[in-house]
């Protein structure tokens, strides 16, 4: 008997049109959307996170968007613990949970479980956060390279949130986070066994054109004003939310006098690098997650892409919702 997967996840690099496709899917499936993007969790970040608008959220119920304040620290574990009961509630209502976002580590925490890292003492957390505020993420990245060179090579020097987390673990446990990550994982959150993950992938030149234009639009349509208002409220530039793409560069323009066009160019370059890291993440994670990759065309309509997602969903249902082929990607 055909058995549909319990959760559908729409993943991929930033700028691939996941939100538009999720809304198109809502015309075909009785679904509720769950945020799978670490930046869209922040309530006070609207101008440059690409989160769904109020009108778009009216198409179907949306969950976990705007769940955090800009000074709150986000983490994969915290996200998974918050998302698990949301998925369970949607399933109890007889609807399909659709997780939308490209933050691979957060989604992996949800569908594969977490490495058994001990709790970090508050004193160590506070000391590392104080060092971040005083010296910036690059200094902490250099220290991390001494504790955990394997992970340091994978993290961008300005990725303050992940660098901070890795350094906290190294200081607290005397063991690198990369070693903890190789330990057997806890059980996945929420008891969900059957996931269907679909990655949207644009050709690199088309994606870069889209990202550059979108970032320019963010700067022109409210990013500077939103960042200025947060800073005026006393939010420190080292706040977790303000490490987000675009906001860090906007703060450098506003606080350090970096010329606007240079700040824009830096944000565009950082966004392209981030998209590449996301693509690399899903390429490596694909075999474990039974990922289906849809190679989409520049200008392809969201409705057409949604129909291709649905075709892959139905094909998985015919196999009982079990494992997909053990290849990193397939084109539907």
Same-domain status, 131 and 216:
no
User: Residue 98 pairs with which residues in a beta bridge?
Assistant: 8, 33
pLDDT digits (tens, 9 = 90+) for 57-95: 999 999 999 999 999 988 888 899 899 999 999 999 999
My answer on whether 292 and 150 are in the same domain is no
Among all chains, which residue has been given the structure tokens 């409705």? 303
pLDDT at 62: 98
Q: Are residues 241 and 99 in the same domain?
A: yes
Residue 161 is predicted with a pLDDT of 74
Residue 239: closest CA among 167, 168, 133: 133
Radius of gyration, alpha carbons of the chain: 20
Per the DSSP assignment, residues forming a β-bridge with 200 are 12, 294
Please indicate, yes or no, whether residues 289 and 237 belong to a single structural domain of this protein.
yes
User: Is 2 part of any domain?
Assistant: no
For residue 15, the domain's CATH number is 3.40.50.300
- Domain boundary residue, one of 131, 158, 181: 181
Q: Kindly state whether residues 42 and 157 are assigned to the same domain.
A: no
Which residues have C-beta within 8 Å of that of residue 74, sequence separation ≥ 6? 38, 41, 42, 68, 161, 240
Q: Do residue 27 and residue 63 come from a single domain?
A: yes
pLDDT digits (tens, 9 = 90+) for 91-105: 999 999 999 999 998
110 and 219 fall within a common domain: yes
Residues 6+ apart with CB under 8 A from 303: 24, 27
In 40-86, DSSP assigns E strands to 62-63
pLDDT at position 297 is 94
The more confident residue out of 32 and 315 is 32
Of 160, 181, 202, the one marking the end of a domain is 181
78, 210: one domain = yes
Does any domain span residue 91? yes
Q: Is the pLDDT of residue 189 over 60?
A: no
**What are the phi and psi torsion angles at 298 (to 5°)?**
-60, 125
Angle formed at CA 136 by CA 268 and CA 248, multiple of 5 degrees: 30
110 and 127 within one domain: no
C-beta of residue 117 within 8 angstroms of C-beta of residue 180: yes
* 282 and 199 in a common domain: yes
Distances (CA, A) of 267 to 116, 219, 264: 35, 10, 5
Pairing of the two strands 7-12 and 96-100:
parallel
Cα torsion angle, 298, 299, 305, 308, sign: negative
The mean pLDDT of 195-217, rounded to a whole number, is 96
Number of domains in the chain: 2
Q: Is residue 330 part of a domain?
A: no
In the predicted model, is pLDDT for residue 318 greater than 80?
no
Region 149-157 average pLDDT: 90
Cα–Cα distance, 13 to 59 (Å, whole number):
23
* Length reported for the chain: 332
pLDDT at site 188: 57
DSSP 3-state of 36: coil
Looking at 181, 207, 225, the residue that finishes a domain is: 181
CA distance 289 to 270: 27
Residue 330 has pLDDT above 60, yes or no: no
Specify which of 4-18, 41-55, 112-126, 181-195 reaches the highest per-range mean pLDDT.
41-55
pLDDT digits over 161-188, tens only?
789 889 999 999 999 998 987 876 655 5
pLDDT attached to residue 186: 59
The 8 Å CB, 24+ separation contacts for 203-212 are 203/295, 203/298, 206/298, 207/13, 207/15, 207/16, 207/275, 208/272, 208/275, 209/298, 210/15, 210/298, 211/14, 211/15, 211/268, 211/271, 211/272, 211/275, 212/268, 212/271, 212/272
**Tokens at 153, concatenated:** 């090579």
Which range has the worst mean pLDDT, 14-18, 118-122, 185-189, 253-257? 185-189
Domain annotation covers residue 323:
no
The first and second tokens of residue 112, run together, are 């594969």
Residue range(s) defining the domain that contains residue 71: 7-114+185-318
Mark whether 50 and 177 lie in a shared domain.
no
The mean of the pLDDT values for the chain is 88
**pLDDT of 2 strictly over 60:** no
pLDDT digits (tens, 9 = 90+) for 110-137: 888 777 777 788 789 889 888 887 888 8
* Residue 327 is assigned to a structural domain of this protein: no
Cβ-in-10-Å burial (0-12, 13-18, 19+) of 167 comes to buried
Whether residue 213 is found in the same domain as residue 302: yes
**How far, in Å, are 2, 103, 276 from residue 208 at the CA level?**
40, 19, 10
């Amino acid at each position: 008997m055909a058995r549909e997967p319990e959760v559908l996840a729409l993943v991929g690099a930033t700028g691939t049109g996941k939100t538009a496709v999720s809304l198109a899917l809502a015309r075909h499936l009785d679904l509720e959307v769950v945020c799978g993007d670490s930046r869209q969790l922040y309530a006070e970040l609207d101008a440059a996170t690409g989160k769904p608008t109020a009108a778009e959220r009216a198409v179907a119920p949306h969950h976990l968007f705007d769940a955090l304040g800009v000074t709150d620290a986000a983490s994969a574990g915290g996200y998974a613990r918050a998302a698990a009961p949301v998925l369970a509630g949607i399933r109890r209502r007889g609807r399909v949970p659709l997780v939308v976002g490209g933050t691979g580590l957060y989604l992996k925490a949800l569908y594969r479980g977490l490495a058994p890292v001990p709790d970090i003492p508050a004193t160590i957390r506070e000391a590392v956060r104080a060092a971040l505020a005083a010296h910036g993420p690059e200094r902490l990245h250099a220290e991390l390279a001494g504790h955990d060179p394997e992970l340091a090579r994978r993290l961008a020097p300005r990725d303050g949130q992940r660098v901070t987390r890795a350094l906290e673990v190294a200081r607290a446990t005397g063991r690198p986070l990369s070693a903890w990550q190789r330990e057997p994982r806890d059980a996945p959150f929420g008891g969900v066994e059957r996931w269907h993950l679909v990655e949207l992938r644009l050709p690199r030149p088309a994606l870069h054109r889209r990202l550059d234009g979108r970032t320019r639009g963010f700067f022109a349509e409210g990013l500077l004003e939103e960042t200025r208002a947060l800073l005026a409220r006393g939010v420190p530039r080292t706040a977790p939310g303000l490490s987000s793409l675009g906001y860090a560069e906007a703060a450098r323009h506003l606080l350090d006098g970096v010329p606007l066009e240079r700040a824009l160019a830096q944000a565009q370059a950082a966004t392209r690098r981030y998209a590449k890291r996301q693509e690399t993440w899903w390429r490596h994670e694909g075999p474990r997650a039974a990922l289906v990759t849809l190679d989409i065309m520049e200008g392809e309509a969201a409705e057409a892409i949604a129909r291709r997602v649905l075709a892959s969903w139905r094909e998985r249902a015919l196999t009982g919702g079990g494992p997909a082929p053990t290849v990193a990607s397939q084109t539907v």
